Each structure stands twice: as structure tokens, then as C-alpha cells.
């Protein structure tokens, strides 16, 4: 497996856009706003590899169109017509391959019913608390 890290990008007032990145590529998870990704990717000299949506809320999918306008990348998400621009619709439990990172992760229509505030504040736990597929990420 290649080396990667999970990096949160501040979006709106209380949200994060998650990036899974290695030295040259990044997958953007739940981009409600494209601006934070547009700022981050060139700073890190990163090429966008994929967009992943976990659910339909506008603060998680609002940046899809702007991101794919800049480059043709797969947009993965659940079978939900409310999520725009998805190119790969996945049924609950299906997996998306992220070959740049040596990862294969499940994606489904997932929104936390409650955030586990007792969990240690690691990036993995922050991501796990908000996205279904994060349980498959190795400890960071």
C-alpha cells in the first residue's frame, strides 16, 4: 500500500472537506464548497484523483460541479438522484478503488446519526465519525 494521509480542509463555519492524499494526488470527500480544495491542491502540488460523496446534503456535494469542471475525474457516491454529477453510483456496501493510495473503500448513503465525541480526536476518528468508509482506513 502506498503512503497517504487524511487532511481536513475547513469549509463553511462548521464543516470539513476531507482529502485523502499522497505526494502527488488527492481524493476530495464531501466537497460542499470547491474553494478550499482549489486553494489546497495547488499549494500541495496535488492532482485531483477523485471526488467522493457520502450523502446528498448541499454542504457535502455543492462543490462537485466546480471540481469536475477543472478536470475529468470520477465522482463516486450512493444511488441518490439528489447528488449531482455522480459518474459512479454505488449501492450500499459496494467499494470504490482509489489506486493512487492503494485503498479500496466502501461508500454508501451515510450520515452520522450521532457523532462520538468520546473518541480520541485523531483525524481518522474525525473522518470515521462523519463518513461510513473511514472505518476501513488504517490508523493514521
**Cβ count near 54 (within 10 Å):** 25
Residue 2 — very low, low, confident or very high, per pLDDT cuts 50/70/90? low
Give how far Cα 130 sits from Cα of 1, 10, 43, Å: 24, 14, 26
pLDDT tens digits for range 90-137: 887 788 888 778 888 776 555 433 333 334 444 444 444 444 444 444
| DSSP secondary structure code for residue 58 in this structure | H
Ordered domains of the chain (ranges, CATH): 5-136 (3.60.15.10)
From the DSSP assignment, how many helices (H) and strands (E) are in the chain?
4, 8
The Cα diameter of the chain in Å comes to 39
pLDDT tens digits for range 11-69: 888 888 999 999 999 999 999 999 999 999 999 999 999 999 888 888 889 999 999 99
Amino acid at each position: 500500500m502506498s503512503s497517504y494521509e487524511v487532511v481536513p480542509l475547513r469549509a463553511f463555519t462548521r464543516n470539513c472537506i476531507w482529502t485523502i492524499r499522497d505526494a502527488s494526488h488527492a481524493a476530495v470527500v464531501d466537497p460542499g464548497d470547491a474553494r478550499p480544495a482549489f486553494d489546497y491542491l495547488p499549494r500541495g502540488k496535488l492532482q485531483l484523483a477523485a471526488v467522493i460523496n457520502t450523502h446528498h446534503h448541499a454542504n457535502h456535494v455543492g462543490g462537485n460541479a466546480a471540481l469536475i469542471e477543472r478536470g475529468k475525474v470520477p465522482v463516486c457516491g450512493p444511488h441518490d438522484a439528489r447528488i449531482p454529477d455522480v459518474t459512479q453510483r454505488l449501492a450500499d456496501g459496494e467499494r470504490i478503488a482509489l489506486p493512487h493510495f492503494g485503498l479500496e473503500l466502501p461508500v454508501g448513503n451515510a450520515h452520522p446519526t450521532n457523532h462520538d465525541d468520546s473518541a480520541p480526536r485523531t483525524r481518522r476518528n474525525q473522518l470515521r465519525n462523519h463518513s461510513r468508509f473511514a472505518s476501513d482506513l488504517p490508523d493514521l
